[in-house]
Structure 1
Amino acid sequence: MAPPSPLLAVRASDGTILLRGPPSCDQHFAFNRDSGSSRCITFSRDGSMFCWSNGRSVSVVKSSDSSVLLTFDLPKTSLLDFSPLGRVLVTWQPYSKTQDSPQGDPNLQLWDVQTGQLIKALYQKKVDSWCPTWSDDEGICVRSVNNELHFYENNDFNSIANKLHMQKVSDYVLSPGGQPSKVVVYVPGSKGAPSFVRLYQYPVLGGPTAALANKSFFKADRVTMQWNKKASAVLVTASTEVDKTGASYYGEQTLHYLAVNGETALVQLPKNGPIYDVVWSPNSSEFCVVYGFMPAKATVYNLKCDPVFDFGTGPRNAAYYSPQGHILVLAGFGNLRGQMEVWDVKKYKQVSKPQAPDATHFSWCPDGEHIVTATCSPRLRVSNGYKIWHYTGSVLHKWDVAEGSELWEVRWQPFPDGSFPERAVRYQAAPSELGSTQTPPTQAYRPPALRHLPATPSAKLHEEEPPQNLRPGLAGPGLSKAALKNQKKREAKKAAKQEVKPEPPSDPAPVSNNSQSEPSSGDPETDKKIKNLKKKLKAIEELKEQQAAGRVLQKNQLEKMQKEEQLLKELQELQIGQ
């Protein structure tokens, strides 16, 4: 029996609703809109339950028929989550003190979903890592308390089964899956000591010798740690707030790999610049990294941290694998124009290139066929709304908020793994009354004074790199004929530069900036000066060409051009003296 269409929960200033997923995209017949100002929403891990807080109470209903399971009088609740098997509901409200309670009241509650009884009330002042983390079978639960980790077993929160205490554990991530559970922890550096990440297997939580893997680094103010689905390896993105070289506004990032077998590596990224996104493939054997100064590169790596496929450069800062792992979307959101590149990962062939301008949210539907993009407040307070797409670029459903209202959140109903089988990738756009938003071809900007003149080829601000397969002995599938032709041209040009062709010595003559090899003077210092002068003269020639094409030069560039005569004179004197 095919699973039902996934639900889409929509939280807005005018209430909370549930929609039937694509292709119908209509309101769930059994769920009555809650017109209250909803603070948060969540589904259970298997999608069977839906929970929300409307500022008056917290309600839990069945997703299928919206029958009420539980209601809690918790008006201040602002965060919600379920344990993996849906046995425990976690609610959190901001910590506060009063005259009657100078120590404050416990603000983190764990509720038994079966009975509605309170299991445990705890203090959790910080919103970071507010929710305890469970193993998939709920045999182990971990919570960060005062820079140490507390482990509970079988949802018994009255006794701590184990502890991991080190010099200020700042962050942790519990492995997905069942037993044996593993945990990766981060300890920031201090007083000249490096930061480090260690990987342990529960219940062996001793010192460094008990760690399955250990990685230390000096450049890390914070880290992001991600397990793959099989819990065999972790990717750690280490970030500094400030790049001391001044090269990047975003600070400095490095990417590290740790495996449970003890292997560690620094992932080598061939382009300088920030790391925007790192994401594991659902098959756990590959990961994609989006990195480098704009236009950014995107590359897929294997578990040996060797590059497998390079998507070239483009305006992107995020990557999203489909739940089945057969499709990858590279996107440029935030301060970029919302371009999405949809790729068939098995063939490494581009499927579509739609645009979702001003999108602040992107997520895959569990069926691996549809996606939702949304413009939500407070990230953007104008043009709030969402679109449901087919991955081929067709817009199937569109909704814009009414004037004076705001969209706050959209969330797909999750389903257990294997609920939706992988389908063959389609390249023809799915039928839709709303059409598609394929990216139109862009043209270079031309000043108004030059628009009546015929177009002339001009130098590009950035050299665009086409996609290429990096597996040894394989040509890049998915490359167009033009891209392959350009790639061959670049390789031929590179090979030509490496060839050294001897030239007969010539008499001193006016400088020629296009010469590939020059006679030697016999004095390395003189040769070096000649080379530098020719380099400066060549740069001046390029500035002249740009000025002739109508480009307005900056003050320092004009000053550089004024030095041409002086440089020519110096060069001639050096060549005469040879």
Structure 2
Amino acid sequence: MAVQLSYRSVAGLTVANGPPQAGAANGFESPQGNIRTFQYSSDGSRLAWIGPEGVRIVNAASGEVVRDITNKTIMEIGFSPKGTFISTWERYQKPATDDGPPHRNLIVWEVATGRQCSSFTSKVLQSNWDVKWTEDERYFARLVTGEIQFYDTRVPVGAAEEAPGTNGATANPVAFRLKLDNASDFAIAPVAYNPAVAVFVPEKKGQPGSVKIFSLTAAVSNPNPAPLASKTFFKAEKAQFIWNGVGTAVLVLTQTEVASGNVNYYGDSALYYLSTNGKYDARVTLGDDGPIHDVHWHPNSGEFAVTSGRMPSQTTLFNPSCEPVFSFPRSHRNYLRYSPTGRLICIAGFGNLAGDMDFWDRRTLRKVATVHAPNSTFAAWSPDGRYLLTATLTPRLRVDNGYRVWHYTGVVVDKRDVNEMYQIGWRPDPTLGRWQDANNRELSPAPKGVEEANGESGAQTNGNGTAAASPAKPVRPAGKYIPPGARDRDASSAGVLYGRREEGGLPGLAGLEQHLERNAGGGSKEVPGYSRDGRDNRDNRDNRQGQGQGRRGGYQAQGGQSRDGRGGSTQGGRQGNRNNQPPPPSAPAPVNGSGSDASVVPPMPAPQHEVKDPAVAEAEKKIRTVQKKLKEISDLKAKMAAGQKLELTQISKMEKEADFLLEVESLTAGMKKLASSFN
């Protein structure tokens, strides 16, 4: 069965089938025009989007319209876990009078009936604007000053208080409260039975920050229950909660805006593990200092992975005791995701990194494939755990917008170029991706892929040899370079001038000048950028330097009058050199193809330089640029050692020293290869 995905662009919203039957989804009429955002419910049953007239909610499988909410000012939406309720946020408007009721701009709707369950005032749109739900949708909660308020969705409409200000919206009474001073964030465990609630209090005025875990059942009857587990720590201004799938443990990623001593640009970060039974908590010990880039739980909830450290970063697997189980080779990566089945792990480098992605088999801990997805700003596994979606979105990048779907063997199985694409996502499907089944079967072979623009549809490497990707098309060897002015010559003439040395061609400018001497007046074109007069002027400068003459004055060659009155030498002047020594004897060649009384000119000695391959010259230029940056980093290190305080941008530059060294090494190797092929 094909999985489903949707994407939003300047043209509207498009619902499509993913592999293996990629294409337009049947039964969906794609809305056109300005679509502000879209969202699937967590169970994948419903799809909603904000259009010009308001919110439309449809059945995600059939496309049938379930509910319309007509309100042109709605800007954000959010589903409950099962899609039974939907939250909307609209821009806050001041009351018409000073004593008027506040505008209730955050509304919770019941999708089936269209009734407004509750409404609240939320003046500022923040990342945590939405209410948070228990998995069974019985309660939802929101954070206010000093407490978390829980609301019961089973309260009938008649028991709710009238809430004027938003078309008769109602505000259900608070079912119970969980009080905790200075709390700034919280998260409910994703389980239906007796869920726990983790609450974060940031560091403030020298007091340490903390995370506390409470039982929701205990909080129903007591607003100040004893915590099940708690952990205090410093250097924690904000926190992110990562619950495991069964709700028995939570990882807390703490961060500060500025690092201690300005040692890096990302601020200080730390990772803590807390179990809900209160029997174990610990700080996760990582290999070295540096930012924590990504954290993710295995679907079986018995393992988690962390990517951390300065580039090249380290990715490590940990057990529930926070003991390292396996460390992957260091590489430039900042993205980490287990597949929904848990059989595969994708470790990638996006954002300011090159876009390389490694697929690893978790069972054997062997690499399956490495692929290159440059300029990717979004990545997500398909619900069946077979494909990874990468996309380039606006406004992060306004060029090359579109998406690619990769099989885990590194084969591109679907691709679309989309003009101004803003958002993309898979339709969730909890019935797919069972981790219990995935570990009992072998990895499938690589499917047939679509051809990429560069002729490659397969992975760069294959670690286990069982899923070989489609081979890339053979690259036609590059021919020898011939300047535009010489491309209409006959093959033998061009070969003499610009042929490779092993093919008998004369190297560089020496062969060019000898060829011009032999063929002067023969009707051939002058090579662009090469002037006979320029060569004569060079000879004049050499002769003047040898005889002590200045730049000005009527210098005349020994063998005759200067050429066309510009001081250029004829035969005698051309034979002189900087040491005033006669040139070695050589066979004279007739000028203009005649043996009359024209001057006999011997061939010019070969100059000290040769024509370089343009690619080699470009590589040398890049190497000089990177070496200049390394010199600046060396100077910054000296300043730091002397005790000078550096700016954040300077510290960020110092952190890139390893990348610059690798770049110099790569450019040098490539330049040597180009030079050997050119010679």
Question: Normalising by structure 1, what TM-score?
Answer: 0.73
**Amino acid of the structure 2 residue aligned with 1:247:** V
Aligned residue number for residue 210 of structure 1 = 226
Identical-pair percentage: 35
Shift of 1:239: 0.9
Change in Cα spacing, 1:285 to 1:556, as seen in structure 2 (3 Å) is: closer
Are 2:117 and 1:114 aligned? Answer: no
Shift of 1:59: 0.6
Change in Cα spacing, 1:165 to 1:557, as seen in structure 2 (3 Å) is: closer
Aligned residue number for residue 476 of structure 2 = none
Are 2:436 and 1:436 aligned? Answer: no
Are 2:36 and 1:39 aligned? Answer: yes
Shift of 1:32: 1.3
Aligned residue number for residue 422 of structure 1 = 438
Aligned residue number for residue 292 of structure 1 = 309
Q: Is the 8 A contact 2:383 2:432 kept in 1?
A: no
Distance 2:352 2:632 in 1: 29
Aligned residue number for residue 9 of structure 1 = 6
Shift of 1:45: 2.2
**Amino acid of the structure 1 residue aligned with 2:227:** A
Q: Is the 8 A contact 1:296 1:317 kept in 2?
A: yes
Q: Deviations over 1:218-267 (max 9, x none)?
A: 11111111110011111011111111222211111111111112111011
Shift of 1:347: 1.0
RMSD: 2.6
Q: Deviations over 1:257-292 (max 9, x none)?
A: 111121110111112211101111111010000001
Q: How does 1:37-76 map to 2 (within 5 A)?
A: 37-76=34-73
In structure 1, the residue corresponding to 2:330 is in which secondary structure?
A: strand
Alignment counterpart, residue 331 of structure 2, candidates 314, 329, 333: 314
Change in Cα spacing, 1:268 to 1:122, as seen in structure 2 (3 Å) is: same
In structure 2, the residue corresponding to 1:204 is in which secondary structure?
A: helix
Shift of 1:394: 0.7
Alignment counterpart, residue 93 of structure 2, candidates 93, 96, 110: 96
Aligned residue number for residue 367 of structure 2 = 350
Q: How does 1:516-531 map to 2 (within 5 A)?
A: none
Change in Cα spacing, 1:342 to 1:240, as seen in structure 2 (3 Å) is: same
**Amino acid of the structure 2 residue aligned with 1:69:** V
Q: Deviations over 1:451-473 (max 9, x none)?
A: xxxxxxxxxxxxxxxxxxxxxxx
Q: Deviations over 1:389-415 (max 9, x none)?
A: 1111111111112xxx41001111111
Q: Is the 8 A contact 2:179 2:223 kept in 1?
A: no
Aligned residue number for residue 81 of structure 1 = 78
**Amino acid of the structure 1 residue aligned with 2:421:** L
**Amino acid of the structure 1 residue aligned with 2:8:** R
Shift of 1:159: 2.0
In structure 2, the residue corresponding to 1:151 is in which secondary structure?
A: strand
Alignment counterpart, residue 168 of structure 1, candidates 182, 195, 214: 182
Compare CA radii of gyration and give the structure with the larger one.
2
Q: Which shifted more, 116-125 or 354-363?
A: 116-125
Distance 1:222 1:26 in 2: 42
Distance 1:331 1:207 in 2: 44
Aligned residue number for residue 138 of structure 1 = 137
Distance 1:313 1:175 in 2: 33
Distance 2:391 2:127 in 1: 25
Change in Cα spacing, 1:557 to 1:354, as seen in structure 2 (3 Å) is: closer
Q: Which shifted more, 319-328 or 70-79?
A: 70-79
Q: Is the 8 A contact 2:35 2:52 kept in 1?
A: yes
Q: Is the 8 A contact 1:141 1:155 kept in 2?
A: no
Q: Deviations over 1:165-201 (max 9, x none)?
A: 2212100000001120110000112221111100001
Aligned residue number for residue 471 of structure 1 = none
Shift of 1:69: 1.2
Q: Is the 8 A contact 1:352 1:427 kept in 2?
A: no
Q: Which shifted more, 208-217 or 100-109?
A: 100-109
Q: Is the 8 A contact 1:6 1:20 kept in 2?
A: yes
Shift of 1:99: 3.9
Q: Which has the higher helix share?
A: 2
Change in Cα spacing, 1:84 to 1:155, as seen in structure 2 (3 Å) is: farther
Q: Is the 8 A contact 1:97 1:103 kept in 2?
A: no
Tell me: higher relative CO, structure 1 or 2? Use CA pairs within 8 A at least 6 residues apart: 1
Q: Is the 8 A contact 1:57 1:72 kept in 2?
A: yes
Q: Deviations over 1:398-438 (max 9, x none)?
A: 1112xxx4100111111124566537353743221324353
Q: Deviations over 1:55-101 (max 9, x none)?
A: 32211111222111111112122221221222211111232325468
Distance 2:460 2:93 in 1: 50
Aligned residue number for residue 231 of structure 1 = 247
In structure 2, the residue corresponding to 1:196 is in which secondary structure?
A: strand
Alignment counterpart, residue 353 of structure 2, candidates 336, 344, 350: 336
Distance 1:22 1:555 in 2: 49
Distance 1:42 1:554 in 2: 49
**Amino acid of the structure 2 residue aligned with 1:406:** E
Are 2:271 and 1:255 aligned? Answer: yes
Distance 1:178 1:418 in 2: 20
Distance 1:400 1:266 in 2: 44
Alignment counterpart, residue 380 of structure 2, candidates 359, 363, 387: 363
Distance 1:374 1:47 in 2: 21
* Structure 2 residues without counterparts, runs of 5 or longer: 156-170, 463-625, 638-679
Are 2:291 and 1:274 aligned? Answer: yes
Q: Is the 8 A contact 1:172 1:186 kept in 2?
A: yes
Q: Which shifted more, 410-419 or 347-356?
A: 410-419
Q: Which shifted more, 200-209 or 235-244?
A: 200-209
